[in-house]
Amino acid sequence: MIPHPIATNDNPSKATKVVIALGGNALMEAGTPPTAEEQLKVVKKTCDNLADISCNGYEMAVVHGNGPQVGRLVLQQEIAAASQPDQLPAIPFDCCGAMTEGYIGYQIQQSLRDALRNRNRNVPVVTLVTQVIVDESDPAFEKPTKPIGRFYSAEEAEKVAKEKGWTMKEDSGRGWRRVVPSPKPKRIVELDSVKRLWDSTIVITAGGGGIPVIENMDGSLSGVAAVIDKDLAAERLAEDMETDILLILTEVENVYVNFGKPDQKALSHITVAEAIQYMEEGQFGSGSMEPKVMAAIKFARRFPGKKAIITSLAKAIDALENGAGTIITMA
């Protein structure tokens, strides 16, 4: 087996294990065309940073988001099905998630392999299309919140809701959209495969939070139309792999309080209790920073003495080795 990654001469002890959650800015840049070609350009830059982490002696797995990508794919499906329903029927939402998990993972694994080879580091990289079990009794199924697909008029929304059983909600005055639930991840189906690969391979797994599935009474699995938060899926993986660090990469170098205000303050090292207090104060956006902080809290609670880090991609190495970013620990 090819060793993945080895400890450095300066640190001959066992390599540090880290799960890395990539935010949307690691895949697409604002203001650029939403094409696969433009995405690949950004992914190549991202993988240069990831390769540096590997070369610094860290064992790692990568979890990425897929929000914009799966949204565009669903939109394509709906438009195609509306124009040619017999020849181009829409693909179910769970399959759309699997498709984006595959193509984004393909771009990352290709780019990361090249970046590692350019550094004379021969470590295999593989994408694992990953199913994640959710609880069908999760309260999220009673209150779907994640909008997907195209906009409808009120009349169209009422019709499609009756025909397809979708939950439709008005979206900020722009029209009506389908909404799906965002349940919590319970178990990663392919976890054993990740464990088998870990010592030899960089695994890209649980992309987009993984494909949500429910476990039936007979043990079989069924895909469901839902979205799992990718930061919570990364935390689930980090817990199950008992990694040393959960590294959540986003657009900003730190978590802030009073963000965007004259008295905004960057947080460097906070405890779980402090993070919870800030969250209860409403300091973190529910659709942006809050899920990241929630994931960090969960990991730090599970492993007192270990840490979760939230920072930017550019500061990843500095955060791992020099304390940059926002570090969340139990105490």
Q: What is the pLDDT of residues 77-97, one digit of tens each?
A: 888 988 898 888 889 999 999
Confidence (pLDDT) at 8: 41
Q: Which amino acid is at 190?
A: E
* Residue of 67, 146, 208, 298 marked catalytic: 146
Confidence (pLDDT) at 1: 37
Confidence (pLDDT) at 296: 98
* Residue of 292, 298, 307, 315 marked catalytic: 292
What residues form DSSP beta bridges with 7?
none
Give the separation between CA 302 and CA 124, rounded to whole angstroms.
30
Question: Does the active-site annotation cover 25?
Answer: yes
Confidence (pLDDT) at 146: 87
Contacts of residue 144, defined as CB under 8 A and 6 or more positions apart, other chains included, come to 167, 169, 179, 180, 181, 182
* Residue of 24, 208, 210, 325 marked catalytic: 24
Question: Does the active-site annotation cover 24?
Answer: yes
Confidence (pLDDT) at 307: 97
Contact 263, 292 (CB under 8 A): no
* Residue of 208, 230, 254, 315 marked catalytic: 230
DSSP 134: -
Residues of the chain with pLDDT under 70: 1-13
Confidence (pLDDT) at 116: 98
Give the separation between CA 104 and CA 57, rounded to whole angstroms.
25
Confidence (pLDDT) at 19: 98
Give the separation between CA 184 and CA 190, rounded to whole angstroms.
17
Confidence (pLDDT) at 3: 46
Question: Does the active-site annotation cover 9?
Answer: no
Confidence (pLDDT) at 276: 97
Give the separation between CA 205 and CA 49, rounded to whole angstroms.
18
